[in-house]
Amino acid sequence: MRDFNEFNITDAVIERFGATPNPRLKQLVSRLTAYLHDYVREVEPSFEEWLLAVQFLTRTGQLCDEARQEFILLSDVLGISMLVDAVNHRLPDGATETTVLGPFHVDNAPLLENGADMSPGMSGEPLYIEGQVIAADGTPLEGAMVDLWHSDQDGFYDVQRTDLVGPIGRARVRTEAGGKFRIRTITPSPYPIPYDGPVGDLLTATKRHPWRPAHVHFMIAHPGYETLVTHVFDADSDYLDSDAVFGVKNSLIREYVRHEQGPMPDGTPVAGTWRHLQFQFGLKSRE
């Protein structure tokens, strides 16, 4: 076929992919082609605008390395990460809602005993976390691995701070009898996603802020169940209604209850105020 124009080129491109042996790949590429062509026909970008878009994507790729993934950040601020999460997690009653993993997870965080301090020496208002892991049908899950991490009082994760040695503000614990676990730490703060690159330029140009509300990340695994990736947000935090990555869900908001004096539930003495977070996590069966 020759003489391509705005009306026939889409079918021609899709036809060129017709011999793709993997049917799923064929579907993905063909539908992407169709949607992109429709977009071009609708908005009619100028050559200057299209070049700007190509340069934006080029700069996005150039910023990606082992420590930073600007394309994931772009996916996040466009709401695509949460949309992909949503279509992959249609959950039964009793299962905790999911949200994005985020860029600051680290594999093999320190495995601590229940009740240990996962933020030793860090400044901030003490936080006592108590949780329970159950199946969606209510069965307690003993031995589940609970991986949790969060920002410090200034909104930074340990991997963003060059003054820290080793992981801190993150840990793994296993649930005990009744599916229960507990850990001591500090209260996280809201923080901005990285905005010194092309994604930040996009936010600035569209009058959007880069902030996320305060939260603790959880990733919970148990044999026979789908791994849960979620946050628990501080009900008193700013930005709950304007999270830069669209990750907030009402079911994941809890009060981090403030107490004016100690001790904590396990008897740990506290000088000054401290917070108490309680949450029950439900896992979806793989069957």
- The pLDDT of residue 21 is above 80: yes
Weakest-pLDDT range from 27-31, 166-170, 254-258: 166-170
Q: Assess contact for 13 and 1: CB atoms under 8 A.
A: no
Q: At a CB cut-off of 8 Å and minimum separation 6, what does 49 contact?
A: none
The pLDDT, as a whole number, for residue 186 is 97
- The pLDDT of residue 3 is above 90: no
Q: Where are the domains of the chain?
A: 9-81, 93-283
Beta sheet of 257-259, edge-to-edge order = 180-186, 126-135, 274-283, 257-259
Question: Into which CATH architecture does domain 93-283 fall?
Answer: Sandwich (2.60)
**β-bridge mates for residue 221, sequence order:** 145
- The pLDDT of residue 185 is above 90: yes
Tell me the average pLDDT across 91-113: 94
- DSSP letter (8 states) at residue 58: H
Q: What is the pTM of this model?
A: 0.92
As given in the structure block, the two tokens for residue 41 are 């026909």
The pLDDT, as a whole number, for residue 114 is 98
Q: Assess contact for 191 and 142: CB atoms under 8 A.
A: no
- The pLDDT of residue 102 is above 90: no
The pLDDT, as a whole number, for residue 67 is 73
Tell me the average pLDDT across 179-185: 98
- The pLDDT of residue 13 is above 80: yes
What is d(CA 219, CA 221) in angstroms, rounded to the nearest whole number? 7
Weakest-pLDDT range from 97-106, 162-171, 232-241: 162-171
HSE-CB of 31 using CA atoms within 13 angstroms:
6
Instruction: Return the residue matching tokens 């949503």.
Output: 86
Tell me the average pLDDT across 10-17: 96
- The pLDDT of residue 1 is above 80: no
